[in-house]
Amino acid sequence: MSPIATSNGQDGHSNGLDRKPNVPQKDGTAAEKEQLVLNTIRCLAADLCQEFKGGHPGTVMGAAAIGVALWRHVMRYNPANPSWFGRDRFVLSVGHACLLQYLMLHFSGYEGWTLDEIRKYHSPSTEHMAAGHPEIEYPGIEASTGPLGQGIANAVGMAMAGKQIGARFNKDGYPVVDGKIWAMTGDGCLQEGVGQEACSIAGHLGLDNLVLIYDNNRVTVDGSIDMCFTDDTSAKLRAMGWEVIEVYDGSNDIAGIVAALELAKHTKGKPTLVNIRTIIGIGSQKQNTGSVHGAALGPDDVAHVKKQLGFNTADKFTVGKEVYDFFGECGARGKTIEDEYNGMMADYAKKFPEDFKELQRRQAGKLREGWESSVPSKDKLPQDAVPTRKASGIMVQALVPADETFVSGSADLMESTFVNFKGQVQFQNPASGLGDYTGRQMMWGIREFAMVACGNGMAAYQKGMFIPIMSTFFMFWLYAAPAARMAALQRLRIIGIATHDGLGLGEDGPTHQPVSLANFYRGLPNQNFIRPADAEEVVGAWMLALSEQEASHPSLLSLSRQAVPLLEGSDRTKVAKGAYIIYGGDVEPNLTLVSTGCEVYRAVEVAKAIGGNVRVVSMPSQRHFDLQSKEYRRSVLPTTKSLVVAIEAWGSLSWPRYAHAGCHMHTFGLSAPQDVLYKHFGFGADNLAKVIKQFKEEQKGGLPGVGEFAELLNGHMMDGRHYAGKLDMNGNE
Amino acid sequence: MSPIATSNGQDGHSNGLDRKPNVPQKDGTAAEKEQLVLNTIRCLAADLCQEFKGGHPGTVMGAAAIGVALWRHVMRYNPANPSWFGRDRFVLSVGHACLLQYLMLHFSGYEGWTLDEIRKYHSPSTEHMAAGHPEIEYPGIEASTGPLGQGIANAVGMAMAGKQIGARFNKDGYPVVDGKIWAMTGDGCLQEGVGQEACSIAGHLGLDNLVLIYDNNRVTVDGSIDMCFTDDTSAKLRAMGWEVIEVYDGSNDIAGIVAALELAKHTKGKPTLVNIRTIIGIGSQKQNTGSVHGAALGPDDVAHVKKQLGFNTADKFTVGKEVYDFFGECGARGKTIEDEYNGMMADYAKKFPEDFKELQRRQAGKLREGWESSVPSKDKLPQDAVPTRKASGIMVQALVPADETFVSGSADLMESTFVNFKGQVQFQNPASGLGDYTGRQMMWGIREFAMVACGNGMAAYQKGMFIPIMSTFFMFWLYAAPAARMAALQRLRIIGIATHDGLGLGEDGPTHQPVSLANFYRGLPNQNFIRPADAEEVVGAWMLALSEQEASHPSLLSLSRQAVPLLEGSDRTKVAKGAYIIYGGDVEPNLTLVSTGCEVYRAVEVAKAIGGNVRVVSMPSQRHFDLQSKEYRRSVLPTTKSLVVAIEAWGSLSWPRYAHAGCHMHTFGLSAPQDVLYKHFGFGADNLAKVIKQFKEEQKGGLPGVGEFAELLNGHMMDGRHYAGKLDMNGNE
């Protein structure tokens, strides 16, 4: 066993680069068996990538000993029941090394992970578990990873979830949750900002149930990290409040790694980084270079690897019986610990029936019985104008205090986004004196990306057990967008609060005004993007986001900074339809205005100003409208019978699907009060009425066809350039 | 003068919280003058925010002494010529503190920055310089900031630009560039991932022309940072290779700050963090709390501030003559140093005429004369199928080696994105032995967001002097999106290379496949998003991005991983039209297929399979098509005469503007080889021909109207839910 140190990780730098994988001496010792296991994994990695000439062999070969240490020796899990609640959780932040995890799941006996299945890695099949990056749908995979840095944040979120559940449900002698969260990172995840944000959060919160294993191979796609990354990572994480343990020979020294991980298990009050020096592609002719990172080794090098490791170059996918024997006890051990756990929980159920019942509800991902009844009816809502962000605060207040499923927080805008709730306790390291781990108010700091990536981890800890409510200005949901996308991809229910959602942000100016960001969220598969028109629709938006049917969809609520009136025609029950008639529904319209959010009340003003049979449609969710029957859609938006004009103070990208013309933004905003800006950009009711009337007259009763969408506003300029939309308005140059 | 230390910044933590601003003793000393200046700034901040009841007074009051130290004592600039090339540059990463910068620009004598102009801060006017965050359009503002963390990266980019120009043009005794880049950060920028990525890059590169000033007030919007941020920032930045200097009383001790900044000027081989302990809102009743961060103080507190600071509570916007006297010499000093510089450069012009001529070209932002002639003609392009990313590499090779305007780099995917070029030298700290500061190959590391935010800084250093080419997989342009947006907002010409742009990415799977990201870039004002169909269109895309007309627009080129054939009808000169007929243009079509990028050749196959008068339109840029005349657009896409069907293996959000129906993705992708995926999701030529023919027949010669866009693919499911688009296909349930 090699030294474990806490000195500067860069010591390891010059260390071990000439190291060769050990060829098993046939002396029947444990050491022989271990080497055979490591070398078997390395040869399998070489064969699996060579089979379909692609994939990432290098890290699998280099980090084999880490995998063995975790699954064979250190982690608590039951392969027969991958979703056993009491398990440790593992997140492979370095997702491209998924073959290592697949092989460990195979050897430790997880159902489905046969060698045949793993051999479909990079195969032409579309029906396989061995995806190019780990996917949460499959046994033993806790989170889909690959986009670097986010896996660290997912693990931090799981550690927060574990601490929160433990603080809530553990009793003296009844550790309902005392498992660890293990995450494996490479150099890349530690360069990405989101990884560093997450490390800073974990250090601040003192999450001692979190162990981050750094596969420190110092090589990325482009080659040695000396070209771009010379941080002293150990010192940096210490400065973020972490314990750091280092292992110098991570390529072969399983015992050394096990000792380090066991030591990490016992760190108190801090998360632990285990910085393990490894050699990428060890055994390959190209070991320790970028060329073993993301490509098959090629037949010659595969042969070289096998020779090096004492394998027959002619054989492929060789796994000796000794290797299976070596992992043989994983299943029995897993069964034993789960049985013990279940015995304890049976006792717990008797002793603490109320807590047990609540725990079961949480584990089942059910919301509190009858939560709908605590939602205020329309007549109980503020009857005067309020910002929709404030109306959302009423829902937070109605839902969050009574149901511990919810954790609610902000990236340093708690009071602007109205995610505070009565009796809140901050989720904090108890040592801070500011709160404790029972807290459900999350102080994320100015870290939007990590907030949402950690939220994904909480949501993935046990599906439905937590619904993280996360908030910031809509503009900063662009910082968080890569994590929001991963929530949609993994079908995790998180609820995003996006306030100050346009020109209404006002004086802070164009850097903070999202004039076109909705396009990203509207186009994202699985994503709900809901922009309610008033307090009543805010209630409907929350009820939709929390409905059974949306249990597998993240929702983002786009909310106003400024006050908007409670609209006579608004109806919470119709938000789920995506769009509905909010004004002038009693007759066939000769003009329909469709609008969203804080622009809807302006559309109603415009309709009144124009007069005649003008209908106004509120469209809080394009996605949900698209899901309605043709009959319903036609009944709301009669595009084949009369003109439909969209009004939304954002870009027009998504509107030609629904309207013949639109009043939209084609430039960035400005710094001025919101009412001034709406007027300046042409969204004053008078001007809207004028341009829409003019457009209608110009159509002479006809309906513009596809390809003729008319842009009615902003001098028809697009980023300062003449915008052809104008030409469609009056049919000539 | 208070101690300057290099010990742990958290020492400052308990330090100075009870500190009061000094009231000037009327003893005519320099100390008196300085206090009067500081207190004048604080009262102005209080008055300016109170005037229109909004804004950010706290940091202005707390960091006043930092502003005075910089503009009065330390920085090299000429207020009479804000764009003097030899100047130091200042970036206010903590953009909400813009009033401090505005006031410093006023006192040091920058044109336009009158007190009347500054009094328009948060006013109803839309015509003013005093925006809610600093805007690059105005004198003395080097970059638009506000979205936190990015300003640090902008400054790092400017420091890189300065090093590069210095290494290229400085001669013994002729320091063409030896200025410093000064940036001011708060707690927020240091929590944001992009700030940390940028600090890591700066430390790695040893940018000793960069000084980051940390306004360490330990308070954010939500209150004390103890709630969310307990990093030891000084230790963290040391671990990233920075020099750190600390100042304990940043509220009053101008001399101490000046001494620290002068010391920082002389750091060699490292960037310097000057960690300055300040008190937010000093002088206010609410000093050192979140409530002075982002709101006016209110009349009582404004009065309190004035009493505290020895001002008459009845007076507003008071600036004594002594204050102007105090800054009086800034103008003369600026003139002197610019005159000296110009004298030196006159000499330089004589001694080094070639270098001078080249420098002038670069300063004017002109590309090398006749660069177009080095672009290969279509017959010189690979005639067999190549990936468009590889074709782009041909353009990089044709343009970059010969013109030092270009710097080219990648976030660790140099060889996948083909941004390498002949004779490249890495931009590196010479001490690294890997390159030097003349290098133009940028090794950004796995830091997409900082890559682009630093690129913005290089582009802003002197508009047009640098055109940064930055590359990663398209998916990771989502990580970089907040910086790409700032490039568009600031009209900075950067060129983004986005490869592996969809299903063609293949085996790496859905986490890496951008199926809907284009919506963000297509909807972003000022942004060019170009998806070329083949090598010929790649040439056209580059020529468009580099054309005069696009000098104020960033461009993102969306390129394929997989090979696509060189199309007979492709035409580089028509890329600038946004869309054009690439197949079947000789007759009136009875069906038109419109497609982009690596799907275009499939559309041509489909057209041939369907037969008859089928036209194929390639639409590399929706934006540029929208800018064409109605006549041109109708001549290409005859939507009012015959069916138009879009084919793009991305989401359909933007397509109803151009087509009656579309073949698109409505779910995330899968992990499999690209040809398998195209087939699996219905994009095989046979299937496309089948569903399009069927659709055409169902229309019986009619044209679907607005609101009837038909989704022809993916089983008409949207994220696993039945998609109503199907219903439009055959007109009934």
Give the DSSP H/E element, type plus range, for residue B185. Answer: strand B181-185
Q: Is the pLDDT of residue B27 over 80?
A: no
Q: Provide the pLDDT confidence category of residue B12 given band limits of 50, 70 and 90.
A: very low
For chain A, give the mean pLDDT: 94
Query: Span A570-584, mean pLDDT?
Result: 98
Q: What is the pLDDT of residue B6?
A: 46
Q: Which neighbouring-strand residues pair with B210?
A: B181
Share of chain A above pLDDT 90, in %: 90
With beta carbons less than 8 A apart as the criterion, state whether A615 and A532 touch: no
Which residues of chain A make contact with B634, given a CB cutoff of 8 A?
Answer: 707
Query: Span A496-511, mean pLDDT?
Result: 97
Query: Span A278-284, mean pLDDT?
Result: 95
Q: What is the pLDDT of residue A733?
A: 33
| Nearest of B355, B379, B559 to residue B472 by alpha carbon | B559
Cβ within 8 Å of residue A648, ≥6 positions away: A595, A596, A597, A599, A655, A662, A663, A664
Q: What is the pLDDT of residue A631?
A: 94
Min Cα–Cα distance to chain B from A205, Å:
8
**Cross-chain CB nearest to A196 (options B135, B196, B733):** B196
Instruction: List domains and CATH numbers for chain A.
Output: 4-334 (3.40.50.970), 371-564 (3.40.50.970), 578-711 (3.40.50.920)
Which residues of chain B make contact with A703, given a CB cutoff of 8 A?
Answer: 705-706
Q: What is the pLDDT of residue A729?
A: 33
Q: Provide the pLDDT confidence category of residue B55 given band limits of 50, 70 and 90.
A: very high
Please write the tens of the pLDDT for every residue from A448-490: 999 999 999 999 999 999 999 999 999 999 999 999 999 999 9
Give the DSSP H/E element, type plus range, for residue B230. Answer: none
Q: What is the pLDDT of residue A717?
A: 66
Query: Span B415-440, mean pLDDT?
Result: 96
Structure tokens at B652: 């359909």
Query: Span A706-716, mean pLDDT?
Result: 86
Segment 242-261 of chain A within 8 Å of chain B by CB: none
Q: Is the pLDDT of residue A39 over 70?
A: yes
Residue B167 CB neighbour total at 10 angstroms: 15
Residue A661 CB neighbour total at 10 angstroms: 30
DSSP string, A237-292: HHHTT-EEEEES-TTT-HHHHHHHHHHHHT--SS-EEEEEE--TTTTSTTTTSGGG
Angle, helix A353-363 to helix A329-351, in steps of 10 degrees: 130
Query: Span A358-377, mean pLDDT?
Result: 96
Q: How many CA atoms lie within 13 A of B513 on its CB side?
A: 30
**Residues A168, A166: Cα–Cα separation, whole Å:** 5
Segment 611-670 of chain B within 8 Å of chain A by CB: 623, 626-630, 633-634, 637, 639-640, 644, 651, 653-654, 656-660, 665-668, 670
Q: Is the pLDDT of residue A25 over 90?
A: no
Q: Chain B within 8 Å of A325 (Cβ-Cβ)?
A: no
- The one-letter code for the residue type at B301 is D
| Nearest of B79, B70, B76 to residue B331 by alpha carbon | B79
Q: How far is CA A100 from the centre of its chain?
A: 23
Q: What is the pLDDT of residue B7?
A: 39
Please write the tens of the pLDDT for every residue from A405-429: 999 999 999 989 999 998 899 999 9
Query: Span A247-267, mean pLDDT?
Result: 95
With beta carbons less than 8 A apart as the criterion, state whether B322 and B33 touch: yes
In the residue annotation, B448 being an active-site residue is answered as yes
Min Cα–Cα distance to chain B from A626, Å:
6
* B122 annotated to a ligand binding site: no
Q: Is the pLDDT of residue B72 over 90?
A: yes
ipTM: 0.96
Verify whether the Cβ–Cβ distance A192 to B479 is below 8 Å: yes
Verify whether the Cβ–Cβ distance A668 to B526 is below 8 Å: yes
Q: Is the pLDDT of residue A12 over 80?
A: no
Segment 456-485 of chain B within 8 Å of chain A by CB: 475-476, 478-479, 481-482, 485
Residues A305/A307/A312/A314 CA torsion (nearest 10 deg): 70
Q: Is the pLDDT of residue B696 over 60?
A: yes
Q: Chain A within 8 Å of B230 (Cβ-Cβ)?
A: yes
Segment 669-698 of chain B within 8 Å of chain A by CB: 670-673, 676-677, 680
Q: What is the pLDDT of residue A398?
A: 97
Please write the tens of the pLDDT for every residue from A603-652: 999 999 999 999 999 999 999 999 999 999 999 999 999 999 999 999 99
Q: Is the pLDDT of residue A153 over 70?
A: yes
Binding residue numbers of A: 56, 96, 146-148, 187-188, 217, 219, 293, 389, 416, 476, 500, 508, 512, 561
Which residues of chain B make contact with A226, given a CB cutoff of 8 A?
Answer: 432, 434
Q: What is the pLDDT of residue B3?
A: 52
Query: Span B423-451, mean pLDDT?
Result: 97
With beta carbons less than 8 A apart as the criterion, state whether A213 and A175 touch: no
What is the number of CB-based contacts under 8 A between chain A and chain B? 431
3-class secondary structure per residue, A444-485: CCCCHHHHHHHHHHHHHHCCCCCEEEEEEEHHHHCCCHHHHH
Q: Is the pLDDT of residue B609 over 80?
A: yes
Q: Going by DSSP bridges, is the β-strand pair B243-247/B4-5 parallel, antiparallel, or unpaired?
A: antiparallel
**Cross-chain CB nearest to B706 (options A132, A415, A639):** A639
Q: What are the φ and ψ backbone dihedral angles of A530, each rounded to 5 degrees?
A: -120, 125
Query: Span B361-384, mean pLDDT?
Result: 96
Q: Which neighbouring-strand residues pair with B469?
A: B408, B495
DSSP A27: S
Share of chain B above pLDDT 90, in %: 90
Q: What is the pLDDT of residue B32?
A: 87
Q: Going by DSSP bridges, is the β-strand pair A243-247/A4-5 parallel, antiparallel, or unpaired?
A: antiparallel
Q: Provide the pLDDT confidence category of residue A204 given band limits of 50, 70 and 90.
A: very high
> Residue holding tokens 């560039």?
B177
Q: Is the pLDDT of residue B723 over 70?
A: no
The terminus-to-terminus CA distance of chain B in angstroms comes to 81
**Cross-chain CB nearest to A511 (options B146, B623, B677):** B146
Query: Span A50-61, mean pLDDT?
Result: 95
Given its phi and psi angles, is residue B566 left (phi above 0), alpha (psi -120 to 50 degrees) or beta? beta
Output the CA–CA distances (angstroms, integers) from residue B579 to B250, B531, B621, B634, in the order listed: 58, 11, 7, 11
Q: Going by DSSP bridges, is the β-strand pair A223-224/A243-247 parallel, antiparallel, or unpaired?
A: unpaired
Q: What is the pLDDT of residue A7?
A: 39
Verify whether the Cβ–Cβ distance A639 to B707 is below 8 Å: yes
Q: Is the pLDDT of residue B646 over 90?
A: yes
**Residues A47, B42: Cα–Cα separation, whole Å:** 69
| Nearest of B190, B109, B187 to residue B152 by alpha carbon | B190
Share of chain B above pLDDT 70, in %: 93
Please write the tens of the pLDDT for every residue from B314-337: 999 999 999 999 999 999 999 999
DSSP string, A489-510: HHT---EEEEES-SGGGGGG-G
Please write the tens of the pLDDT for every residue from B115-141: 999 999 999 999 999 999 999 999 999
Please write the tens of the pLDDT for every residue from B218-263: 988 888 999 999 999 999 999 999 999 999 999 999 999 999 999 9
Q: Is the pLDDT of residue B487 over 80?
A: yes
Q: Is the pLDDT of residue A62 over 80?
A: yes
Q: What is the pLDDT of residue B585?
A: 87
* B188 annotated to a ligand binding site: yes
Q: Provide the pLDDT confidence category of residue A11 given band limits of 50, 70 and 90.
A: very low
Please write the tens of the pLDDT for every residue from A105-134: 999 999 999 999 999 999 999 999 999 999
Catalytic residue among B243, B246, B448, B536: B448
Q: Provide the pLDDT confidence category of residue A221 given band limits of 50, 70 and 90.
A: confident
What global pTM score does this model have? 0.96
Verify whether the Cβ–Cβ distance B523 to A651 is below 8 Å: yes
Verify whether the Cβ–Cβ distance A126 to B676 is below 8 Å: yes
* B500 annotated to a ligand binding site: yes
- The one-letter code for the residue type at B361 is R
Please write the tens of the pLDDT for every residue from B78-96: 999 999 999 999 999 999 9
Q: What is the pLDDT of residue A125?
A: 92
Catalytic residue among A34, A192, A404, A448: A448
Residue B332 CB neighbour total at 10 angstroms: 12
With beta carbons less than 8 A apart as the criterion, state whether B405 and B433 touch: no
Q: Provide the pLDDT confidence category of residue A2 given band limits of 50, 70 and 90.
A: low
**Residues B524, B496: Cα–Cα separation, whole Å:** 14
Q: Is the pLDDT of residue A529 over 70?
A: yes
Structure tokens at A162: 């574990």
Please write the tens of the pLDDT for every residue from B176-195: 999 999 999 999 999 999 99
